[in-house]
């Protein structure tokens, strides 16, 4: 996928990101009313909450953010979550630590790397807890 992005013009990259941002799964209604303060990612400039669930040993993450105002973040999460949702924690733990840099460099948006890395660290923390059988909250 990164090779695909590198071959596009800047305008095509932005259009692709907007399309990916629309693929981000919405927060389910059953999670709308819970206190999601502990799921916030304060290192990200955009308000983002990452809520994990485990079912039958498989992780599923939901992200809550304003995708219209932050299509880059929504696209990054849509790409990432589509690869790791409904897989065992080992899948999330295997994501390379430089994944955010690779993706953002390929689309020319390296400045967002700090917040994206914080999201990846948070996802890996939840995966490590799930792998250990510990509660996620």
pLDDT, tens digit, for every residue of 78-130?
Answer: 989 999 999 999 999 999 988 888 877 766 666 678 888 999 999 999 999 99
Percent of the chain topping pLDDT 90? 50
Which domains occur in the chain, in start order? 2-29+39-131 (3.90.1010.10)
Q: How many CB atoms lie within 10 A of CB 42?
A: 9
Helix segments in the chain, DSSP class H: 2-6, 10-21, 29-32, 71-84, 89-93, 99-107, 113-131
> Using N-to-C axis directions, what is the helix angle for 10-21 and 99-107, rounded to 10°?
130
**36, exposed or middle or buried, with CB in 10 Å at 0-12, 13-18, 19+?**
middle
Mean pLDDT throughout 45-50?
91
Query: Mean per-residue pLDDT for 30-40?
Result: 90
The dihedral built from the CA positions of residue 94, 85, 124 and 104, taken in this order, carries a sign that is: positive
- What percent of the residues of the chain are helix, what percent strand, and what percent coil, each to the nearest 5? 55, 10, 35
Q: What is the pTM of this model?
A: 0.86
Residues 6+ apart with CB under 8 A from 68: none
Q: How far apart are the first and last CA of the chain?
A: 33
State both tokens at 85: 């949702």
Percent with pLDDT over 70 in the chain: 91
């Amino acid at each position: 996928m990164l090779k695909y992005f590198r071959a596009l013009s800047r305008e095509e990259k932005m259009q692709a990101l907007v399309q990916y941002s629309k693929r981000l799964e919405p927060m389910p209604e059953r999670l709308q009313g819970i206190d999601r303060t502990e799921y916030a990612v304060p290192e990200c400039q955009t308000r983002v909450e990452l809520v994990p669930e485990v079912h039958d040993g498989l992780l599923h993450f939901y992200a809550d953010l304003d995708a219209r105002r932050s299509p880059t973040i929504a696209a990054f999460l849509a790409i990432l979550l589509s690869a790791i949702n409904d897989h065992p924690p080992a899948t999330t733990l295997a994501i390379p630590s430089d994944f955010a840099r690779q993706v953002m460099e390929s689309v020319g948006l390296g400045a967002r790397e700090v917040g994206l890395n914080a999201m990846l660290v948070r996802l890996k923390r939840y995966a490590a807890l799930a792998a250990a059988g510990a509660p996620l909250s």
